Amino acid sequence: MAESAEAPKLVYLVTGGCGFLGEHVVRMLLEQEPRLRELRVFDLHLSSWLEELKTGPVQVTPIQGDVTQAHQVAAAVSGAHVVIHTAGLVDVFGRASPETIYKVNVQGTQNVIEACVQTGTRFLVYTSSMEVVGPNVKGQPFYRGNEDTPYEALHKHPYPQSKAQAERLVLQANGRKVQGGLPLVTCALRPTGIYGEGHQIMRDFYLQGLRLGSRLFRAIPASVEHGRVYVGNVAWMHVLVARELEPRAELMGGQVYFCYDKSPYKSYEDFNMEFLGPCGLRLVGTRPLLPYWLLMLLATLNALLQWLLRPLLLYAPLLNPYTLAIANTTFTVSTNKAQRHFGYEPLFSWEDSRTRTILWVQGSTQ
């Protein structure tokens, strides 16, 4: 991947390229990676917006495929210089079975690694998650920690377990010899809660607020900090890592990086109000309206109902014991590792991130 003034020649593959984060990574690559010749977008479901990207100077190749199918992954990876693996099953609501989550997140990631090895692709960027660290089952706070902060990463839920296992596979694969004999260089990015244009849960809260008379009711104490990061900055980190993995292989190979920017430290609900407030909603209560034990009871009832109704229908509300525990446990990061290792600075200021998200929320329901 040596720098040159010649015609663009790099081939990138983005798995999950039609998802919330994946779309931003795809668009960011087209804007910010001048050495790109071809961009392969691999996803289970291809989006219609891909069509509009086909008229630009970079060849955009949509590939409908499943990461759990090793042969489909190998075909997509073959000839790519860099793979950005964002595809994943993001489910903390009990929509998918633990087996399916494992298959997509762990087996899918193993397939991506093996495809790189078999086809000679040397650079692999994996979208991990803050969830590989915590909040843990003990509900211990992680207060403005960094990549080296000691913390017991104990999980019972299939989503964090699968992301942690997949991240381990990616990091262990660093240094493996790929076809042709050169070493594979891998690293993992760990976003905290991502927000921005396309964030469906934000939209769900907005619609719920509208239904409740332009109000939301506080359920989480304002003192519980929840880490959030703007999707454009997460995408920018992916682009930078993909670019710097070759020249800085020695330093960056096998490393993990939290994704961070200048988004303020707030509770999950107070942070959402930064966008939902200007859209006309207000958060009722300076303290949670219901005590924690009652919320946990409701969350447990939801889980029970989900189990009882499963043979008939899928009941998967946002509130369950796991989501309540995450929202109720402080987890925030404070680090400059990405800046030190590959010169990352957020591309979008907090003000820009906020404005873009507000405009999206306002437009998303029309």
Ligand X SMILES: C[C@@H](CO)CCC[C@@H](C)[C@H]1CC[C@H]2[C@@H]3[C@H](O)CC4=CC(=O)CC[C@]4(C)[C@H]3CC[C@]12C
CA distance 366 to 351: 24
The binding track of 138-177 with respect to ligand NAI, each residue x by CB under 6 A or -, is: -------------------------x--------------
SS3 142: strand
**Binding status of residue 13 toward ligand NAI by CB under 6 A:** no
**Binding status of residue 89 toward ligand X by CB under 6 A:** no
**Binding status of residue 268 toward ligand NAI by CB under 6 A:** no
Amino acid at the residue 203: R
Residues 217-236 that bind ligand X (CB under 6 A): 219-220
CA distance 31 to 259: 20
- State CA 139 to chain mean position distance: 22
If 0-12 CB within 10 Å is exposed, 13-18 middle and 19+ buried, where does residue 289 land? exposed
**Binding status of residue 89 toward ligand NAI by CB under 6 A:** yes
Question: Is the preceding peptide bond at 247 cis, omega within 30 degrees of 0?
Answer: no
Among 261, 269, 270, 274, binds ligand X (CB under 6 A): 269
**Binder of residue 316, out of ligand NAI, ligand X, none (CB less than 5 to 8 A by kind):** none
**Binding status of residue 108 toward ligand NAI by CB under 6 A:** yes
- CA dihedral for 25, 186, 92, 108, sign (positive or negative): positive
**Binding status of residue 324 toward ligand X by CB under 6 A:** yes
Among 62, 134, 191, 196, binds ligand NAI (CB under 6 A): 191
CA distance 293 to 230: 32
Catalytic residue selected from 159, 257, 260, 322? 159
Using Cβ positions, the residue closest to ligand NAI within the complex turns out to be: 19
* Dihedral Cα 291, 292, 296, 298, nearest 10 deg: 20
Backbone φ, ψ for residue 227 (5° rounding): -70, 135
159 tagged catalytic? yes
**Binding status of residue 296 toward ligand X by CB under 6 A:** no
Least CB distance to ligand X at residue 216 (A):
7
**Binding status of residue 129 toward ligand X by CB under 6 A:** yes
58 versus 283: smaller Cβ distance to ligand X: 283
Stretch that binds ligand NAI, among 4-12, 43-51, 140-148, 150-158 (CB under 6 A): 43-51
SS3 290: coil
Among 41, 77, 84, 90, binds ligand X (CB under 6 A): 90
DSSP state of 104: I
SS3 63: strand
CA distance 185 to 175: 6
User: Where is 215: in which H helix or E strand?
Assistant: strand 215-217
Stretch that binds ligand NAI, among 38-46, 260-268, 278-286, 293-301 (CB under 6 A): 38-46
120 versus 258: smaller Cβ distance to ligand X: 258
268 versus 342: smaller Cβ distance to ligand NAI: 268
**Binder of residue 283, out of ligand X, ligand NAI, none (CB less than 5 to 8 A by kind):** none
**Binder of residue 82, out of ligand X, ligand NAI, none (CB less than 5 to 8 A by kind):** none
What is the three-state SS of 169-189? HHHHCCCCECCCCCECEEEEE
Stretch that binds ligand X, among 60-68, 114-122, 129-137, 302-310 (CB under 6 A): 129-137
142, HSE (Cβ side, Cα atoms, 13 Å): 30
Tokens linked to 66: 């499943």
Q: Which residues are catalytic?
A: 159
Residues lying near ligand NAI in the complex (CB under 6 A)? 16, 18-22, 43-45, 66-68, 86-90, 104, 108, 127, 129, 163, 191, 193-194
